[in-house]
Each structure stands twice: as structure tokens, then as C-alpha cells.
């Protein structure tokens, strides 16, 4: 059994000024066990904000919204996936899926009710 983790761009927010400059990117993490991806699955969204103050929509490096690809957008934020906070989130998702695949049995109770020894 393997745990698989995938990311996809879920949504983009743009500046409402006619330039369609991307300002927020929502990434969906999907972590699942390959033995049953539906049963053993965890999804989580994370929003990344881009600084847009110095973006010049007239420059040659500006990519119009309708020409963006998922690879281009991931390229803008890929370095952020190495942050300790993101790594901790990813590990937590893996741990959650693992705990569903291999649940920890309940401990034996320390006190139990016993039938009376007489009738």
C-alpha cells in the first residue's frame, strides 16, 4: 500500500480592474491510499496570495489570464510548498490517511463490569 499526494489548482482570484491579474491561488491537496482512494482519502485547500502591486500588464513578461496553464501558475508558488507549515500540513494528511487504513485498536478498559459470582 502506498500513500499518494497530489495537488491541483482549484481556483484563481483576479484583481477586478480589467487586467485579470491573478492575486490569489487556491490549491487543493488530495492525499489517499492506493488500495481504496475513495475510502482512505483526505482533501485540504490552501490559499496563496500573490503580490500584485508591481505587476505591469503591459510588460512582455505578463501572461494574459486566458493563456495561463496550471504549470505556469504552479511555477509561481512552487517554492512555497517547501515551507515548514506546508510540510507539516502534508505530513498531517498522510498521518490521517494512515490512521484510517491502520486504525489503532481501543485499549482494554482498566475497569469492567463482572457478573456476580452467586445466583
Q: Which three cell numbers stand for residue 62?
A: 505578463
Question: Which residue stretches of 6-79 are H helix?
Answer: 70-77
Predicted local distance difference test score (pLDDT) of residue 119: 77
pLDDT digits (tens, 9 = 90+) for 9-28: 999 999 999 999 999 999 99
Mean pLDDT, rounded, for 65-84: 97
Q: Indicate if the pLDDT at residue 90 is higher than 80.
A: yes
**Phi and psi torsions of 80, nearest 5°:** -75, -20
Q: What is the pTM of this model?
A: 0.83
Amino acid at each position: 500500500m502506498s500513500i499518494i499526494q497530489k495537488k491541483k489548482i482549484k481556483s484563481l482570484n483576479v484583481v477586478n480592474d480589467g487586467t485579470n491579474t491573478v492575486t490569489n491561488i487556491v490549491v487543493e491537496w488530495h492525499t489517499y491510499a492506493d488500495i481504496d482512494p475513495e475510502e482512505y482519502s483526505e482533501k485540504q485547500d490552501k490559499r496563496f496570495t500573490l503580490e500584485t502591486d508591481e505587476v505591469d500588464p503591459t510588460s512582455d513578461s505578463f501572461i494574459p489570464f486566458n493563456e495561463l496553464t496550471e504549470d505556469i501558475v504552479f511555477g509561481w508558488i512552487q517554492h512555497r510548498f517547501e515551507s515548514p507549515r506546508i510540510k507539516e500540513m502534508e505530513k498531517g494528511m498522510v498521518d490521517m490517511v494512515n490512521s484510517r487504513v491502520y486504525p489503532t485498536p481501543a485499549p482494554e478498559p482498566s475497569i469492567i463490569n463482572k457478573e456476580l459470582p452467586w445466583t
